[in-house]
């Protein structure tokens, strides 16, 4: 988001368009697709966006443009409050823990094997 240095309570659709680098028609379309995006209207009937609305717009933009989700996928993430990438990170963490535990077991087994080899060699050496 571009920073114009001025924090306001409400922004017009043209200001939000500039701040988010999105066309106004896209903002209007997203209002029809995403239930969470419902800017208020002033007495003249013009949309007025809050900072919360702008953050939501940027999140939608990131999901659609950067993370390549479909609109349905982005809706699901916004409704669930958890992204698939967060779920994937949790699965990766669980997989990594499993791998670490497997490696620990392998190290224990190798240590035992080395102790056996050491015992064999010491026994062999003592017979020389």
For residue 37, which of 6, 84, 74 has the smallest C-alpha distance?
74
Is there a domain that residue 19 lies in?
yes
| pTM for the predicted model, two decimal places | 0.59
What confidence score (pLDDT) does residue 77 get?
87
Count how many domains the chain has. Answer: 1
Residue-number span of the structural domain to which 68 is assigned: 13-80
Q: Where residue 18 sits, what CATH number does that domain have?
A: 1.10.1660.10
47 DSSP 8-state letter: E
pLDDT at 83 over 60: no
Q: Percentage helix, strand, coil, to 5, in the chain?
A: 70, 5, 25
71 and 35 Cβ atoms separated by less than 8 Å = no
What confidence score (pLDDT) does residue 6 get?
58
Q: Tell me the average pLDDT across 77-101.
A: 72
List beta partners, residue 48: 40
pLDDT, tens only, 52-77: 999 999 999 999 999 899 999 899 88
Is there a domain that residue 106 lies in?
no
Longest alpha-carbon distance in the chain? 103
In the predicted model, what is the mean pLDDT of the chain? 87
């Amino acid at each position: 988001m571009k920073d114009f240095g001025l924090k306001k309570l409400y922004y017009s659709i043209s200001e939000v368009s500039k701040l988010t680098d999105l066309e106004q028609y896209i903002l209007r379309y997203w209002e029809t697709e995403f239930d969470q995006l419902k800017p208020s209207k002033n007495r003249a009937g013009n949309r007025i966006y809050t900072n919360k609305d702008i953050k939501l717009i940027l999140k939608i933009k990131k999901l659609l443009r950067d993370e390549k989700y479909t609109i349905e996928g982005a809706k699901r993430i916004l409704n669930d409050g958890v992204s698939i990438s967060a779920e994937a990170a949790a699965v990766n963490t669980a997989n990594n823990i499993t791998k670490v535990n497997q490696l620990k077991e392998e190290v224990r087994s190798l240590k035992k094997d080395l102790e056996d080899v050491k015992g064999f060699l010491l026994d062999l050496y003592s017979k020389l």
